[in-house]
Amino acid sequence: METVQSIHGPDTWKWTEQNPWAGRLLESIRTSFNLKPGHFQSTRQPRLTVVEYRDKTKAAIYSARDVGWTYAGDIERRRDPAIVSMLGWPGPYAQYHAANAFVHWIVEMTLTRKEPCNAERLLLSTGIVSFNMESNWQNGRYSAVGRRLNTRFLDMTYRATRGPMFNTGPRPPVVPYIRGFEK
C-alpha cells in the first residue's frame, strides 16, 4: 500500500467527479440496487477513503446508505464491474451478530494451532483504518479533505490462505437484538 486519504462532506463528490473510475463503480452499485439517480449524493455526511497501492491499483471506499457491505471492482477482460454484496448477511440475529463467526475461528485456531488468516491481512486492514482516521487531522486542526498519508510501514505482500471469513452456510434463525437480559 502506498497512500491513504480521507475525504468528508461535499468534497467527496468533487473527488468522485475527478476520478471517473470510482464514479462508474459507484453507479454500477446504484443501478444493481435499483436506487434513484443521485441517491448517494443525497447522503447527509458523505465519507470517502482513498487507498492507492504500490502496483497503481486504486480503491475508493464510500460510506453509503442502503447498500450494506458491497464491493464493486473492475476486473481485466470483463465488460461490467464485478459486484459482491453482503447486504442482509450476517443478521440481524442474536446478540452481536457481526461477530458470530469469531467463535468458530477461535476454536479452529485453538485446535489447529494455526492463525485463521495471515497476520499481514489484519495489519493491512487496521493500518488502512488508522491512517484514514489520522488523515483529516494535523496539529490539532481538522480538514474535510485529509492529507494523503504515505503508508511506508505497510509495504508488504501476502497471499490469502482462504476465502471470505464470514458465514456462508444456512442463515441462523432471526432472534431480536436485545440489550440487557430477557425476563
Tens-digit pLDDT profile for residues 42-84: 988 999 999 999 988 899 999 888 887 788 898 888 888 888 8
* Residue 75 resides in a domain: yes
- Under DSSP, the state recorded for 125 is H
- pTM to 2 decimal places: 0.76
Domain ranges, residue 131: 3-154
* Tally of domains in the chain: 1
* Residue 168 resides in a domain: no
* Residue 60 resides in a domain: yes
- For the stretch 107-155, pLDDT in tens is 888 998 988 778 888 888 899 999 999 999 999 999 999 999 999 888 8
Mapped onto helix, strand or coil, the DSSP state of residue 155 is: coil
88 vs 85: CA distance, rounded Å: 9
